Amino acid sequence: MFLEQIVATSVCHSDLYHLFEYMHPEGFPTVLGHEAAGTVESVGPGVTEFQPGDKVIPIFLCQCRECRFCKSPKTNQCELAWTRVCQKIMASVESRFTCRGKRVLQFMGTSTFSEYTVVHQSAVAKIDPAAPLDKVCLLGCGICTGYGAAVNTAKVEPGSTCAVFGLGAVGLAAVMGCKDAGAERILAVDINSQKAEKAKAFGATDFVNPKDHNIPINQVLAEMTNGGVDYSLECVGKVEVMRTALESCMEAWGVSVIVGWTDMYDIAIRPSHLICGRTWKGSMFGGFKSKDGVAQMVKAYMDKKLMVDEFITHNMTLDQINNAIDLMKDCKCIRTVMSVSPQ
Ligand SMILES: NC(=O)c1ccc[n+]([C@@H]2O[C@H](COP(=O)([O-])OP(=O)(O)OC[C@H]3O[C@@H](n4cnc5c(N)ncnc54)[C@H](O)[C@@H]3O)[C@@H](O)[C@H]2O)c1
Ligand SMILES: [Zn+2]
Ligand SMILES: [Zn+2]
């Protein structure tokens, strides 16, 4: 364990999911926030990898490097992950926080809407000390999640046709991943037409608003692509969109990836939609082995091979957290970065 001073943090939809959508009574009180960057303040016993002053990004998915999951190339899950113990409340019951003597849960193992947080060394990536923390904090969740879902999980191929549903930071990063993987056509789908321009800046070739059509959106996409897309990525977190994304892929070989998060409902699908040849997958943190993936993505940004600054639409300070949450709730931002402590 060590103490990290948070320098910058941003709001991701998963914070809103916990706060306004799932609202599980056992999940509160909690300190939200999981997309951040900071500096190691002090280290506890047994911490060998980090020293005070190191620049770091906390990660909601750990990588202990020792367990059977970490040792397998087939997964980026880790047996130490909080998701394996207490998924329903998105927080470990063994919290490291108290407030006036009462336990406060640590959200997703991170809790970054705070000046300081205590993190496990398996859930932190050491990064290039020259990296601007008020930018690379976004690599702690949204960008790695969407980009990796396209590149690592869907394994988008050059020349392919893709559809991305939901154009928040996660979906826009998925668009960017599809583009970098060589997709020829990228159909960006959102019920908010204001996202069209941004999607095109990240590589989308077409924008489709389901509200502009009176037939199901999978039929619209099938007509635009001669039968369906090769890859679809659901970056919204709604089960009906997950189903639509699967149905939007080419029946013979389409691959659909669920990236949006929800654990509130089951999904229904006709078995024949899979039997004919579609593949349905899920992706957590973009399929990246988390510590390795974050360091690699920070390097790509520093080498000017990855867009990050373009996701930031607002800058605030941590005391404006409620305004930042409202902006995302009202669909008026991509990412709001809050400065917490001096860099
Ligand atoms: N799998 C993971 O590891 C992981 C990690 C981070 C976030 N997430 C999840 O990814 C999702 C997206 O996160 P974000 O921060 O980009 O959210 P966001 O709120 O910024 O973006 C969501 C977008 O979806 C659009 N949308 C809503 N309903 C739609 C519909 N019916 N059809 C098409 N578009 C629709 C909204 O207009 C918005 O642009 C959330 O569910 C979040 O919890 C998953
Ligand atoms: Zn997130
Ligand atoms: Zn592990």
pLDDT along the chain (343 residues), means of 10: 92 96 90 97 94 96 95 95 65 79 91 95 96 98 98 98 98 98 98 98 98 98 98 98 98 98 93 97 98 97 98 98 98 97 84
Task: Out of 10, 14, 160, 283, pick the active-site residue.
Answer: 14
Between the CA of 236 and the centroid of ligand 1 the distance, in Å, is 3
Between the CA of 127 and the centroid of ligand 3 the distance, in Å, is 20
Q: What is the pLDDT of residue 86?
A: 58
Q: 58, 301, 34, 313: which is closest to 176 by C-alpha?
A: 301
Between the CA of 125 and the centroid of ligand 3 the distance, in Å, is 14
- Best residue for ligand 1 mutational test, from 22, 107, 195, 236 (most atoms within 8 Å of Cβ): 236
User: What is the rounded CA–CA span in Å between residue 83 and residue 266?
Assistant: 18
Between the CA of 21 and the centroid of ligand 1 the distance, in Å, is 13
Q: What is the pLDDT of residue 226?
A: 97
User: What is the rounded CA–CA span in Å between residue 113 and residue 119?
Assistant: 14
Is the CB of 293 inside a 6 Å radius of any atom of ligand 1? Answer: no
Atom of ligand 1 nearest to the CA of 17: 43
User: What is the rounded CA–CA span in Å between residue 8 and residue 140?
Assistant: 11
Any idea of the CA torsion for 307, 136, 146, 209, to the nearest 10 degrees?
-60
* Contact (CB, 8 A) for 326 and 314: no
Active site residue 331: no
Q: What is the pLDDT of residue 26?
A: 86
Q: 121, 99, 98: which is closest to 109 by C-alpha?
A: 121
Between the CA of 225 and the centroid of ligand 2 the distance, in Å, is 31
Is the CB of 109 inside a 6 Å radius of any atom of ligand 1? Answer: no
Is the CB of 173 inside a 6 Å radius of any atom of ligand 1? Answer: no
* H or E element in which residue 136 lies: helix 133-136
Q: What is the pLDDT of residue 89?
A: 67
Q: What domains, with CATH codes, occur in the chain?
A: 2-140+308-339 (3.90.180.10), 146-283 (3.40.50.720)
Active site residue 12: yes
- Best residue for ligand 1 mutational test, from 19, 82, 90, 170 (most atoms within 8 Å of Cβ): 170
Active site residue 193: no
Is the CB of 238 inside a 6 Å radius of any atom of ligand 1? Answer: yes
For 150, 203, 248, 255, 297, the CA distances from 244, given in Å and listed in that order, are 18, 22, 6, 13, 30
* Contact (CB, 8 A) for 289 and 73: no
Any idea of the CA torsion for 214, 20, 94, 124, to the nearest 10 degrees?
60
The Cα angle at residue 210 between residues 205 and 215, in degrees rounded to 5: 115
Q: What is the pLDDT of residue 180?
A: 98
Q: Whose CA is nearest to atom 16 of ligand 1?
A: 168
Atom of ligand 1 nearest to the CA of 240: 31
User: What is the rounded CA–CA span in Å between residue 338 and residue 318?
Assistant: 5
CA atoms within 13 A on the CB side of 129: 7
Is the CB of 196 inside a 6 Å radius of any atom of ligand 1? Answer: no
Q: What is the pLDDT of residue 3?
A: 87
* Contact (CB, 8 A) for 218 and 241: no
For 60, 89, 249, 270, 292, the CA distances from 264, given in Å and listed in that order, are 20, 11, 25, 20, 31
DSSP classification of residue 310: G
Active site residue 160: no
User: What is the rounded CA–CA span in Å between residue 175 and residue 183?
Assistant: 9
Q: What is the pLDDT of residue 333?
A: 97
Q: What is the pLDDT of residue 101?
A: 92
For 24, 262, 333, the CA distances from 330, given in Å and listed in that order, are 22, 19, 8
Q: Is the dihedral angle over the CA atoms 172, 13, 148, 273 positive or is it negative? A: negative
Active site residue 14: yes
Is the CB of 236 inside a 6 Å radius of any atom of ligand 1? Answer: yes
Between the CA of 163 and the centroid of ligand 3 the distance, in Å, is 32
Between the CA of 161 and the centroid of ligand 1 the distance, in Å, is 21
* Beta strands across the sheet bearing 102-107: 30-31, 102-107, 91-99
* Contact (CB, 8 A) for 201 and 310: yes
- DSSP for 240-294, please give it: HHHHHHHHTB-TTT-EEEE-S---SS-----HHHHHTT-EEEE-SGGG--HHHHH
- Best residue for ligand 1 mutational test, from 261, 267, 297, 311 (most atoms within 8 Å of Cβ): 261
* Beta strands across the sheet bearing 255-258: 206-208, 185-189, 161-165, 231-234, 255-258, 279-282
* Contact (CB, 8 A) for 239 and 267: yes
